[in-house]
Amino acid sequence: MLRLVGVAPSSWHRPPRDGERKRPGPTPQAIPTQIVQGVVAMATGNPWYGAKRIAVMRRRGGLAVTDRQAYRVMKVHKLLRQKRTRRAEVYQAAKLFELLRQAPNDRWQMDVTYIHIPGSGWRYAVTVIDYYSRYLLACCLTPSYSGHDVIHGLKLAREEAERIHGPLAKSPNLVTDNGPSFIARRFGAFVKDRFSHMRIQYRTPQQLGLLERFHRTLKEEEVYWQLYENPQHVRECLAVFRERYNTRRPHWSLAPSEGGDVLVPREVYAEGKEIRPPRWQSWAVAAQAKLEEMLTAA
């Protein structure tokens, strides 16, 4: 009939009538009760496995079950992996939420970047930034990136934090890479009782992404615009940049919790204005809420 009226059979679709199967073919055979019970028991006891693995495990136990039978049974009993509520994963995601910054001075990031001075060669900028507020605690020029020089930058950051907040109630969590200055014995001895020091994994600069992105801002908004005369000139320019970055430059990640334009780092770090979590952290916020709901129900 379709050919007579000029309609391609492959384009014809008719919704199934009442009681009619969606797909043609014989009606699937009923699965024996023994197989159903065996698959349900194995899938319930191993909720992290899919249908194929459950079928293999049952066959290894002496029960003749096909992959298709295991899939059908698990689908009917809602035991397929993607259909379950995975309490363990929700719990782990909620624990990760606790690792995110919650207030100023919870976590600092520290690194070193290069700056070239015509006629004087290379110098190094030691930078320390507060993870929560993006407040630039220190940005000092040093002749090297030895343990002694980075300790000097960290001392300046601590002095700035205590100038604003007074003596810190707890040791900030300090995150660095694995550069020679941060694995030096002198640096380790200095931070031992003053900070909770954590180094990122090797070859994973994204774990220090906040400070790596800041160095790009430092170069694009300061270093590449200047022709420095000498190291003292660099120090003066870095001081001006730091003041501008903290007090006048709006930061897109600092969206106020009550709405409105984004804030500058000083408003969050020194004035205590609240911000809402960025969108990329919404998974952690949702997981935390889900965990609290599950614990309440329990």
Predicted local confidence at residue 218, as pLDDT: 96
pLDDT on residue 258: 82
| 244 dihedral zone (left: phi>0; alpha: psi -120 to 50; beta) | alpha
Q: What is the pLDDT of residues 231-272, one digit of tens each?
A: 999 999 999 999 999 999 999 889 898 878 899 999 999 999
Per DSSP, the residues of 53-98 read HHHHHHHHTT----HHHHHHHHHHTT--GGGS--HHHHHHHHHHHH
Do residues 106 and 99 touch, judged by C-beta distance below 8 A?
Answer: no
Given a contact cutoff of 8 angstroms between Cβ atoms, the answer to whether 263 and 273 are in contact is yes
Between residues 82 and 171, the one the model is more confident about: 171
Residue 37 belongs to a domain: yes
Mean pLDDT in residue range 61-87: 82
Is the residue at 111 inside a domain?
yes
Categorize the per-residue pLDDT at 1 as very low, low, confident or very high, splitting at 50, 70 and 90: confident
In order, the DSSP letters of 133-158 are T--EEEEEEES--SHHHHHHHHHHHH
Q: What is the pLDDT of residue 8?
A: 73
Could you give the CA distance from residue 220 to residue 227 in angstroms, rounded to a whole number?
13
Instruction: Say if residue 95 is in the same domain as residue 132.
Output: no
Q: How confident is the model at residue 46 (pLDDT cuts 50, 70, 90)?
A: confident
Q: Does 109 reside within a domain?
A: yes
Query: Mean per-residue pLDDT for 42-48?
Result: 85
Give the per-residue pLDDT at 48.
72
| pLDDT for the residue numbered 298 | 59
**What do you get for the CA distance between the two ends of the chain, in Å?**
61
- Are residues 259 and 271 located together in one domain of the fold? yes
Answer whether 42's CB lies under 8 Å from 54's CB.
yes
Bridge partners of 196?
A: 173
pLDDT for 234 equals 97
Domain count across the chain = 3
pLDDT higher than 50, residue 84 = no
pLDDT value of residue 97: 46
Inside any domain, residue 137:
yes
pLDDT of residue 24: 62
Same-domain status, 289 and 271: no
Q: Judge whether 22 lies within some domain.
A: no
Same domain, 153 and 206: yes
Q: Report which residue type is found at 108.
A: W
> What's the pLDDT band for 83 if we cut at 50, 70, 90?
very low
162 belongs to a structural domain = yes
Same domain, 125 and 265: yes
Average pLDDT over residues 57-86: 84
pLDDT at residue 271, as a whole number: 95
Secondary structure (H, E, C), 180-206: CCCCCHHHHHHHCCCCEEEECCCCCHH
In a domain, 21, yes or no: no
In a domain, 203, yes or no: yes
**What is the average pLDDT across 270-285?**
76
Burial annotation 137-173 (CB, 10 A radius, 16+ → b, else e): bbbbbbeebbbebbbebbebbbebbeeeeeeeeeebb
Within this chain, do residues 115 and 240 fall inside the same structural domain, yes or no? yes
Q: At what angle do helices 33-45 and 51-60 cross, to 10 degrees?
A: 110
Q: Give residue 94's domain range.
A: 85-100+281-298
Same domain, 200 and 230: yes
144 and 253 assigned to the same domain: yes
pLDDT at 96 over 50: no
Structural element, H or E, at residue 131: none
> CA-CA distance, 265 to 246, in Å (whole number)?
5
Confidence (pLDDT) at 69: 94
Mean pLDDT of 90-105: 61
Please list the residues that pair with 111 across neighbouring strands: 127
pLDDT over threshold 70, residue 21: no
Token pair, residue 159, equals 């002095």
pLDDT over 80 (residue 119): yes
pLDDT of residue 285 exceeding 60: yes
